Every structure is written in structure tokens, then in C-alpha cells.
Amino acid sequence: MKSVGIVGGLGPETTSKFYLDLISLARKHCDSYPKIIIDNVSFPFYLEEEIIKKSENEHRILPYLEDSIRKLNKAGVDFIVIPCNTVHIFIEDLRRISKVPILSILDETIKVIKKEGYRKIGLLATTKTIDRKLYETPLVENGINIAIPTKTEQEIVAKIILRILENTSDGKDKMSLLKIIDNLFKRGSESILLGCTDLQLILNQSDLKTKLIDTANILMSATFNKLSDINQNTEFKGR
């Protein structure tokens, strides 16, 4: 049976949910638990705020990510996943030092969006993800327009993501996000892309009338499918 290594702690609750969702799928579709190794990246808390809120000093987290990739390689995993969109700015750097494949949450998400045939997508993500155009560039290259929050709205989104990580988010944050989402729809969005995996902890499909594109769920589905290629050739296409 293949094993997957998870670069965890970006943030912790998302990592926990990612793990539990994989276990739940294995219960439903397989005859044994999957082999999972999680390395919780130990980095200073101040980096969260600098990267997410201020969109700066992201290079300081790279050594921690590289260390995690090396540990998972040494542990003997067959492939690696990173349930965090923002740090995918370093995906090629990390792939260069890894002896095993690293699935990209960006690539997997773009595949889904292209298959759905959307013409314009509204994006909710960290300021760094938006500034680096992690989704905008590949979407536009594929003929898909993108709508992003205004500067004021993005400041709100960034603060909400930080509160989720600090476990201080409340119902007001969901209402604020729904208001921003409504504005993105008014700007022509046909669907909303949760380009930050932590947002799925307070937003889900039942909150919207149109389809919500959840990057955490997309990566989890791709991870399960890669594991089940060996287990019993079961393909899971999302919940």
C-alpha cells in the first residue's frame, strides 16, 4: 500500500480535518486504513501574520518547509501533499529537493475548474496568494477570468483567516465573507474559489446557492485517489 506524507500545521485544524476526511473515505471505500505520515511544521507564529496579513517575508518560511519535505522523504513516503495554497509559491523549490512526487493543490484545482467550464471565478485567499497571482495567472492562461476582493475587502479576508488560525473566529466572520462573496457575484463570478484551505472551516457548500470550489476538498480527493490506485483502484470525485 502506498503512503502519503502531509506537510501539516498550515494551519493545524485544516491538517486535522484533512487527515480525518482521508480516514473517513478509507472507511467507506477501502478495506484498510491508509498509510499517512504528518509532519507538523514548527515555525514562529509571527510569520503567519506577516505572510497572511501583510503579504511579506514569505521567504522566511521556506527553510521550515524544506525541512519538512526532507523529513517526509526520510520517512519513506511515496508522495507528499501540502494542504495550504499560499506556500505553493515554493512548490518548484520543494520539488527540487524531494525524491518523491509532491501533488500541487493549484494544479488539481485548475483541472477541476477547467472541467466545470466556468468563465469567471471569484477568489477568496490570503493576500500573498492574490499578490503572487497563484490562481489568476493559470486561470487567465486557460481563458477563465477572475474576480478578487477590493483592497478593503481583502484586508477583512486576511484578518478572518488569522482569526481562524487563532481559533477566535465567530459567526460575524462568516457573515462578512458572505457579503464579500455577494459582491464577487455582482462582479460577474459564476462560482467562488476558496483559495485558502482554512476558509473551509467556516464556509461550506450549504452557505451558497451556487457551487463552492473548495481547494482543501479537491486536494483531499486527489490524495485519496492516488492512494487508492494501489489499494483497490477506487476513484473518488469529491463530496
Catalytic residue among 26, 51, 65, 84: 84
Within 8 A by CB and 6+ apart from 143, the residues are 119
Q: What string of DSSP letters covers 100-145?
A: S-B--HHHHHHHHHHHHT-SEEEEE--HHHHHTTTTHHHHHHTT-E
C-alpha angle 191/195/198, rounded to 5°? Answer: 120
CB 9 within 8 A of CB 64: no
State the Cα–Cα distance between residues 68 and 21, nearest whole angstrom.
Answer: 22
Clarify whether 30 is annotated catalytic: no
d(CA 207, CA 220): 21
The yes-or-no answer on residue 84 being catalytic is: yes
Annotated catalytic residue within 65, 165, 196, 218: 196
Q: Report the Cα–Cα distance between both ends of the chain, in Å, rounded.
A: 24
Return the active site residues: 84, 196
